[in-house]
Chains A and B, each alone.
Chain A
Amino acid sequence: MISVDNLSKQYGATPVVDRVSMSIERNSITVIVGTSGSGKSTLLRMINRLVEPTSGRVLIDGNDTAAEPPHLLRRRIGYVIQGHGLFPHRTVAENIATVPRLLGWEAARIRARVDELLQVFQLEPAEFAGKFPHQLSGGQQQRVGVARALAAEPAVLLMDEPFGALDPIIRAKAQEDLLDIQRRFGTTIVLVTHDMDEAFRLGQRVAVMSHGCMLQYDRPAVLLTRPADPFVSRMTGIADRAMRLLSLTTAGEAAVPGSADGPAIPASASLRDALSELVWRGVESAPVMQRDGTSCGRLTVATILARGRPG
């Protein structure tokens, strides 16, 4: 668990981050969202001490991060930045091996870990291990950047606008992959973005920042239904807030007992997509089915609509 305790950063008299406190659950994805200049990146960079706090503390599993030299702390925390920052003079395998090497792992263990990560990220080791970053596509470079950050099996992964440089289709794939990775390794992820869609898609908890202050830190549905500040509603969007709320629930969760005609909607689909499907088919209800073929019941337009409003 990461505990941020009354953390502030000032440059001169200007506070960039102003007395922020938050507690980040282990094995979860937390997204910090805000406009540019809101202090969200500075907050993230204070967790691995790339920026030293003016006051306040960060505890990881109860240990004060100020207690050890910053470069040793950072070897235990994964870090991914926008534009990946791969070392251009090192091969993909050497890039991924960076932190294990700094930690003095044995060569055989490093090689095994690099191969494992390349496979996890769908990069065939025989083909990609020896390539240089400039020989990869943007999406591949981004994946290598994440693999490098995860190489030494860190418990915590910090990501600063990791998908900012990707086009929408590759970005959606990268977000999907990140959710898989998180489930697979159980890493605690803290991600910074200015993109509310990304925040809602990835975050189990979302923190909204503005002018250095944390306005609200809660589950995405709560940000929509009980915004703590007018700025939060503006960030989350007022016109399509019902649709956003629907996108947070899956068809499986909302399904009610009963049966319906027509092709089944997958249980993992969001209610937003399910509603779209019903409107498109011009029907009032449809069956919902798990991937393995077991039925979850059915979904009606009325049940969906009831989920799309607060309370």
Chain B
Amino acid sequence: MQAAATVLRLAALGLLAAFLWVPQSFAPLFEPLTQYGAPPIYDQGNLLTLALAQLGTVCCAAAASTIVAVALGIVVTRASGAQFLPLSRSLVNIGQTFPPVAVLAIAVPLVGFGLKPTLIALFAYGLLPIFENTISGLRSCPPAVMEAASGMGMSARQRLWSIELPLAMPLILEGIRISLVINVGTAAIGSTVGAKGLGEVIIAGLLSNNTAFILQGGLVTGLMAILLYDAMAAVERRLFRTVHVA
């Protein structure tokens, strides 16, 4: 079972790499989806470059979301910051429920077209899972462990860094993983405001009524999201094999 899953993952990775590296060799596969001799493979840009650009955008946004959401999660789980929990939670929830497209519409007049509005939309959209998982992770530290840490003479800061965050880390990483995967898909909309990404391929397909383009943009995005999710899960399992919270 485990072996079959690994084979499947490697096959998916191989397929994605091959398609991005030599897309033209897949032309016969997409030929039947085109009409009137339109190109079967996206030819207005390099697919590999677009895929990497999209991944880069998502990673930048996720890094910013992580810093803000984890910091906020730490603040609201301290005794002194507990009063900010309801406010922070509402803000983060708005970030998630407000459609990214609407964020783009608001952001463009403020910061212009291109990468910036996309990063803002993805940043806001990715906060919630990281924030909530950080809070659950920090709250799940066993009270006896916390008491022991204080009783041994750790300062509040030492306890946070050497006990609470390491114990919360599996859940925090899970939050980051969910956030990343959601945003790999969402990032395609950035192309509507001129950010480089696979959305370009899908839009080109829609404009020229070329199903092959739409499918290529969608499949590459989907494969990237699945593989990223799996890779991060594998890393997490390896890192935290030894940690068992009592």
List residues of chain A with CB under 8 Å of any chain B CB.
Answer: 48, 50, 71-76, 79, 81-89, 98-99, 102, 132-134, 145, 148-149
> B150 contacts which of A50, A72, A87, A132 (Cβ < 8 Å)?
A50
Q: Are B152 and A79 in contact (CB under 8 A)?
A: yes
Q: Which residues of B contact A71 (CB under 8 A)?
A: 150, 153-155, 158
Decide if B163 is an interface residue (CB 8 Å cutoff). Answer: yes
Q: Are B153 and A74 in contact (CB under 8 A)?
A: yes
Could you tell me the distance in whole angstroms from the C-beta of A214 to the nearest C-beta in chain B? Answer: 23
Chain B residues touching A, majority SS: helix
Q: Which residues of A contact B246 (CB under 8 A)?
A: 86, 88, 133-134
In angstroms, Cα B153 to Cα A75, docked, is 5
Could you tell me the distance in whole angstroms from the C-beta of A70 to the nearest C-beta in chain B? Answer: 8
Q: Which residues of A contact B158 (CB under 8 A)?
A: 71, 102
Name the CB-closest residue of B to A141.
B246
Name the CB-closest residue of B to A99.
B152
Q: Which residues of B contact A148 (CB under 8 A)?
A: 152
Name the CB-closest residue of B to A102.
B153
In angstroms, Cα B146 to Cα A83, docked, is 12
Knowing that A50-B150, A88-B245, A149-B152 touch, tell me 9 more A-B residue pairs with CB under 8 angstroms: A48-B151, A71-B154, A75-B152, A75-B153, A81-B144, A86-B246, A87-B149, A98-B152, A133-B246
Could you tell me the distance in whole angstroms from the C-beta of B189 to the nearest C-beta in chain A? Answer: 40
> B151 contacts which of A72, A81, A86, A89 (Cβ < 8 Å)?
A81
In angstroms, Cα B22 to Cα A84, docked, is 59
Q: Which residues of B contact A50 (CB under 8 A)?
A: 147, 150-151
Q: Which residues of B contact A48 (CB under 8 A)?
A: 151
> A89 contacts which of B147, B153, B154, B167 (Cβ < 8 Å)?
B167
Q: Are B163 and A84 in contact (CB under 8 A)?
A: no
Decide if B242 is an interface residue (CB 8 Å cutoff). Answer: yes
In angstroms, Cα B151 to Cα A297, docked, is 49
> A132 contacts which of B155, B163, B244 (Cβ < 8 Å)?
B244
Enumerate B150-209 residues with CB–CB distance to A below 8 Å: 150-155, 158, 163, 166-167
Q: Are B167 and A88 in contact (CB under 8 A)?
A: yes
List residues of chain B with CB under 8 Å of any chain A CB.
Answer: 142, 144-155, 158, 163, 166-167, 242-246
Q: Are A102 and B151 in contact (CB under 8 A)?
A: no
Q: Are A79 and B244 in contact (CB under 8 A)?
A: no
A-B contacts, 29 of them at CB < 8 A, read: A50-B147, A71-B153, A71-B155, A73-B153, A76-B153, A79-B151, A79-B152, A81-B148, A84-B144, A84-B148, A85-B144, A85-B145, A85-B151, A86-B148, A87-B145, A87-B148, A88-B167, A88-B244, A88-B245, A88-B246, A89-B242, A102-B154, A102-B158, A132-B242, A132-B244, A133-B246, A134-B244, A134-B246, A149-B152
In angstroms, Cα B245 to Cα A282, docked, is 55
Q: Are B147 and A85 in contact (CB under 8 A)?
A: yes
In angstroms, Cα B155 to Cα A48, docked, is 14
In angstroms, Cα B151 to Cα A149, docked, is 9
Q: Are B151 and A88 in contact (CB under 8 A)?
A: no
In angstroms, Cα B1 to Cα A207, docked, is 62
Q: Which residues of A contact B146 (CB under 8 A)?
A: 85
In angstroms, Cα B163 to Cα A88, docked, is 9
Name the CB-closest residue of B to A145.
B148
Name the CB-closest residue of B to A45.
B151
Q: Are A81 and B147 in contact (CB under 8 A)?
A: yes
Q: Are B244 and A72 in contact (CB under 8 A)?
A: no
Name the CB-closest residue of A to B246.
A88
Q: Which residues of A contact B155 (CB under 8 A)?
A: 71
In angstroms, Cα B153 to Cα A148, docked, is 12
Q: Are A88 and B243 in contact (CB under 8 A)?
A: yes
Identify which of B142, B145, B163, B244 gathers the most chain A CB atoms within 10 Å of its CB. Answer: B145
Q: Which residues of B contact A86 (CB under 8 A)?
A: 145, 148, 246
In angstroms, Cα B158 to Cα A95, docked, is 15
Could you tell me the distance in whole angstroms from the C-beta of A67 to the nearest C-beta in chain B? Answer: 16
Identify which of B148, B242, B244, B246 gathers the most chain A CB atoms within 10 Å of its CB. Answer: B148
Q: Which residues of B contact A83 (CB under 8 A)?
A: 144
Q: Which residues of B contact A82 (CB under 8 A)?
A: 144
In angstroms, Cα B151 to Cα A89, docked, is 18
Q: Which 4 A-B pairs rank lowest in CB-CB distance, beginning with the nearest? A: A85-B148, A75-B153, A79-B151, A74-B153
